[in-house]
Structures are given as C-alpha cells and as structure tokens.
C-alpha cells in the first residue's frame, strides 16, 4: 500500500505514517554490514532536474545497495570510505565508468583494488561519438542523395546487426548509407569489432584484439576514431581487467531503473534522506545488518 492509502485506512496523517516508515528504514538499512564486501560497482543517477545526482554503490556479490551519497563527484563517496575502513573490508575490484572523479577517489582510498571499466559504458561512449560523426557528415555533405540516405540512420548505426528489422529493410538502408560514406563505414565496422574485446577466451588474446583495434582505428586517419583510440589506450588496464574480474556496472544500471520507477510511482520525494533509505531497501532480502 502507498503511504497515502495506509494513512487513509488508519485515519492518521500522511506525515505520521511516513515518519514511522522512515524510522523503521533507518533502523534496518542505514548501517549495512560491509566487512564481507569484496566487489562493488559505482555509478551516479539523476534524481531531479537541474543536474541533481546521487552516487550509488552496489555490492556485486549480494546485489544490495550499500551506499547512497549526495552528488556525483569523488567527495560523494567520502562517508562510504570511512565506513569501509571501520568495517576493515578488503575490496578486491570496483566496476565503474571512466569518470576521472571516481577513478581518483578509488585510487586514493582503495589502492589495492582492481578498477574494471564497465564495457557497456565504453561501447556507449563510442556510440555517442558515432552519432556525432554521422551528424557532422550530414551537415558537411552537399549532395542531396547522401543527405537523404544519412537522414534517419542514427538508430540503425547504433543497433546490433542481429537486431536490424528485415520487415523495415533496415539492413538494406544501413548498407546503402555505409556504401556512400567511407568514414561512416569505417566507424561502424570498428564499432562492431569493439565488442570483441570482451568476447575472448582469455586476457592474452583480448589484449591482442585490443591492440589491433587501436592500430586499425588510428590507421583510418579519421579524427574521431584516432581521438577515441587514444582515449581507449589510456584506459587499457581497466578495460582488460574484466578478464581478472568479469564484472560490470550492468546490475547497477538495473537498480537505477528500479529507483527511477520508484520515484515516478511516488511522484517524487521531498525528503532526500527518506528517498535514500528507500533506495537502500530495494533489495531487502539481501541485506545483512550491523548488530
């Protein structure tokens, strides 16, 4: 039942029911046990217009949210590091995106942990660059035929080949666009090959695939691909660390979707502390509490 339904049923004010629930959530979820935490994922979630964010930490082994901090910078994690130290936790791996703020915070506070850059974020970053390239090519071309072919191909470029709809002739439309524009074609096929970095039987082979991808991207002479290859090379160790700890922030993305759904159902939360406690309680059955 919603808070409003319970309040109406019992003939008590909404605020009273909410405070009762908040006290209960505080007692059960405000201090999760962290001593056995080994692998975590870190990501931010937008919770309000105007760039209001929360930083969420997930225990990869239990699937439970173990910390919610204000903001999305490295300082949002400061209370979490204090709790980890008190619990004497030995975190071995951290899955996250390539946020410089989070990287710096993890290196400072968990120097012995392995950073694993989330492969979904890497591919998303490339897809964003691919969309920018298509838009730039559309603006630059003077030929009406090329403009007509490029228009509306953004989602076709981002789709995996196996997901192209034959009934809508998406494969044929994509092939036509790639045939007419060599830079777009190079970027598209490199996008497909990028996924292969995480599909190898071992780290040694994955490193060879990674190095080959970097060389091919640089050899195209296309500015966007050369810049992205340089960025990727700088994050090589964190990308290939997937083969040491095959984790990603994918489960945390799923949790973020649940948080967004909860927020919509409640028509938003005025009390941010109450909202954070509700997030901590999303995986109630998976929590172990401090005695």
Over residues 64-107, the pLDDT tens digits come to 999 999 988 889 999 999 999 999 999 999 999 999 999 999 99
Work out the percent of the chain whose per-residue pLDDT is above 70.
Answer: 80
Q: How confident is the model over 238-273, as pLDDT tens digits?
A: 999 999 999 998 888 778 788 877 777 665 577 788
0.95 cut: is pTM over it? no
pLDDT single digits (tens) 101-117: 999 999 999 999 999 99
Name which of 7-16, 220-229, 251-260 the model is least confident about. Answer: 251-260
What are the structure tokens assigned to 256, written together?
């973020």
- Domain 31-118+248-286 annotated CATH 1.10.240.10: no
With a cut of 50, say whether residue 7 has pLDDT above it: yes
Residue 157: Cβ within 10 Å count: 19
Q: Which pLDDT belongs to residue 78?
A: 95
CA atoms of 213 and 159, how far apart (whole Å)? 20
Q: What is the pLDDT of residues 146-183, one digit of tens each?
A: 555 556 565 566 666 677 677 766 677 666 665 656 67
Supply φ then ψ for residue 215, to 5 degrees: -65, -40
Q: How far apart are CA 28 and CA 151, in angstroms?
A: 53
Phi, psi of 40 (to 5 degrees): -130, 160
In the block, residue with structure tokens 């298509």: 134
Contact criterion met (CB below 8 Å) for 93 and 38: yes
What are the boundaries of each domain within the chain? 31-118+248-286, 119-239
Q: Please give the Cα distance from 256 to 261 (Å, whole number).
A: 9
Residues 277, 278, 283, 285: is their CA dihedral positive or negative?
positive
**94 touches 41 (CB < 8 A):** yes
- pLDDT tens string 184-207: 778 878 888 899 999 999 999 999
User: Who contacts 199 (Cβ-Cβ below 8 Å, separation ≥6)?
Assistant: none
- Asked whether the predicted pLDDT for residue 145 surpasses 90, the reply is no
- What percentage of the chain reaches a pLDDT higher than 90? 40
Bridge partners of 69? 55
Distances, alpha carbon 37 to alpha carbons 61, 108, 113, 117, 281, in Å: 8, 18, 12, 19, 17
- CB atoms inside a 10 Å sphere around CB 291: 5
State the DSSP H helix or E strand holding residue 182, giving kind and residue range, or none if neither: helix 182-194
> How is residue 14 written in tokens?
């909404």
Region for residue 101 given its phi and psi (left: phi exceeds 0; alpha: psi -120 to 50; beta: otherwise): alpha
Please give the structure tokens belonging to residue 6. 């319970």
What would the DSSP string read from start to end of 100-141?
A: HHHHHHHHHH-TTSEEEE-HHHHHHHHHHHHHHHHHHHHHH-
């Amino acid at each position: 039942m919603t808070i409003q339904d319970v309040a109406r049923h019992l003939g008590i004010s909404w605020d009273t029911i909410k405070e009762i629930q908040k006290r209960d959530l505080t007692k059960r979820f405000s201090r999760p046990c962290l001593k056995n935490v080994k692998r975590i994922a870190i990501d931010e979630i937008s919770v309000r217009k105007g760039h209001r964010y929360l930083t969420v930490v997930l225990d990869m082994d239990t699937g439970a949210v173990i910390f919610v901090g204000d903001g999305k910078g490295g300082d949002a994690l400061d209370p979490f590091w204090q709790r980890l130290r008190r619990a004497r936790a030995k975190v071995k791996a951290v899955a996250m995106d390539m946020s410089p703020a989070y990287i710096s915070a993890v290196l400072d506070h968990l120097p012995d942990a392995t950073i694993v850059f989330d492969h979904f974020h890497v591919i998303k970053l490339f897809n964003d660059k691919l969309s920018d390239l298509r838009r730039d090519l559309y603006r630059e071309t003077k030929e009406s035929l090329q403009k007509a072919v490029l228009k509306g191909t953004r989602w076709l470029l981002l789709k995996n080949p196996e997901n192209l709809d034959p009934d809508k002739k998406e494969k044929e439309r994509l092939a036509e666009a790639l045939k007419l524009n060599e830079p777009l074609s190079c970027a598209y096929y490199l996008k497909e090959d990028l996924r292969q970095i995480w599909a190898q039987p071992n780290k040694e082979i994955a490193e060879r695939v990674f190095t080959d991808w970097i060389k091919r991207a640089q050899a195209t002479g296309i500015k966007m691909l050369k810049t992205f290859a340089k960025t990727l090379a700088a994050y090589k160790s964190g990308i290939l660390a997937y083969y040491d700890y095959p984790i990603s922030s994918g489960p945390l993305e799923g949790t973020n979707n649940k948080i967004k759904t909860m927020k919509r159902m409640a028509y938003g939360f005025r009390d941010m502390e109450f909202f954070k406690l509700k997030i901590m309680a999303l995986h109630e059955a998976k929590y172990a509490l401090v005695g």
